[in-house]
Amino acid sequence: MLKKQIKDLWRLCFNDSEAFTELYFTHRYNNDVNIYIQSGEEIISALQMLPYQMTFCNSEIPTAYISGACTHPDYRSKGVMHELLSQAFARMQSQGMLLSTLIPANDYLFDYYRKKGYASIFNYTEENYLAKDTTLNVRGLRIETLSDFREDVFHYLSHKMKERSCCIQHTAADLKVILADLRLTNGSLVIALREKNICGVAFCYPDGETLRINELLADNAEIEKAVLAKAVKQWKCNKATAIRPVKKGLEEHHLGMARIIDAKKVLQLFAAAFPQEEMNIELTDDTLAANNGYYYINNGKCMKSDERVIGSTHQRLNIEMLALKIFAPLQPYMSLMLN
């Protein structure tokens, strides 16, 4: 059975708990998003392409998140993963995906994926909050913890995340999986309500004396502090560390990478959103030949040609450099990816 073979390979390659492995293969894995390579009857390499929407240039675009990319130890350093990624990119292209994203499992893998066309564009900052500096008593506010899915919580989360101009979005099904993962780690979701309306959420993971918050969203700073106060008090922590979008003055940390799958469509959206931008680009993509060519961005439109327009000068970019040029200034963000 395919699923069992993929699960066995996962167990061999990753150090995840059996509980998390079961969670992933029950709620995240299915054969339709899986791609693999065999040697004889043995599956030696596999990955999953999980679909996510992402806000970008006043639109939502389809992306594929690479999850569980692994190769049997006996077949590593032989080009197997390179071939698997090439097949994955071709499938993404045929499915209309504009972008592929991933979070490298180790720091050294950033260089590996960079060679495959990925650019490191998803960064984050950490904000620390001391328990003594948080305030729980905010008039008219009720703070609760929960571990089960609620429709109103999902709608609030979705609304707040869509306010971010360049951000991976989550579905109701995603939230159910995130909550299941919270339960595995003795974490919980802390919510704030005014009357019956959600006005703040925090996804809390206890980590010794520090409470780690993987997402914190609220209507204002006062509600944030109330949510934090409830969280640190519940887990008896001295401080909380919240993972947040990049903020000026705070140290940036690398998290995720992205690879452009359909350069023409990405540049069309970019041109329409920034009509003042003018660019002539000579683009090379060693894996997806359809991206190769000359791109002309002017007056809110993008034109592609297989041949250079006589008399024009071009900026030479590879597919990784293009992702950095287009996305890095927008400070893309991803969170709650079960990484």
CA distance 42 to 5: 8
**CATH architecture of residue range(s) 125-244:** 3-Layer(aba) Sandwich (3.40)
Give pLDDT, residue 73: 97
Helices (H) and strands (E) in the chain, counts: 9, 15
- Check for a shared fold between 2-123 and 125-244: yes
Residues 115-150 have pLDDT tens digits of: 999 999 999 999 999 888 777 777 889 999 998 999
pLDDT digits (tens, 9 = 90+) for 161-188: 999 999 999 999 999 999 999 999 999 9
CA angle 177, 214, 222 (to 5 degrees): 120
Are the beta carbons of 260 and 231 closer than 8 angstroms?
A: no
What does the block give as tokens for 53? Answer: 């929407």
DSSP 145-200: EE-S--HHHHHHHHHHHHTSSSBB---HHHHHHHHHHHHHTT-EEEEEEETTEEEE
Closest CA to 281 of 326, 215, 334: 326
Do 24 and 177 meet the contact criterion of CB atoms below 8 Å apart?
no
Tokens, residue 185: 């780690």
Predicted TM-score of the model (pTM) = 0.95
pLDDT at 114 over 90: yes
pLDDT at 1: 85
Domain boundaries, the chain: 2-123, 125-244, 266-318
**pLDDT, averaged across the chain:** 95
Interior/surface letters 264-303, b for 16+ CB within 10 angstroms, e for the rest: bbbbbbbbeeeeeeebebbbebebbeebebbbbbeeeebe
Residue 102 — left, alpha, or beta (φ > 0 → left; ψ -120 to 50 → alpha)?
Answer: beta
CATH for 2-123, options being 3.20.80.10, 3.40.630.30, 2.30.42.10, 3.30.479.30: 3.40.630.30
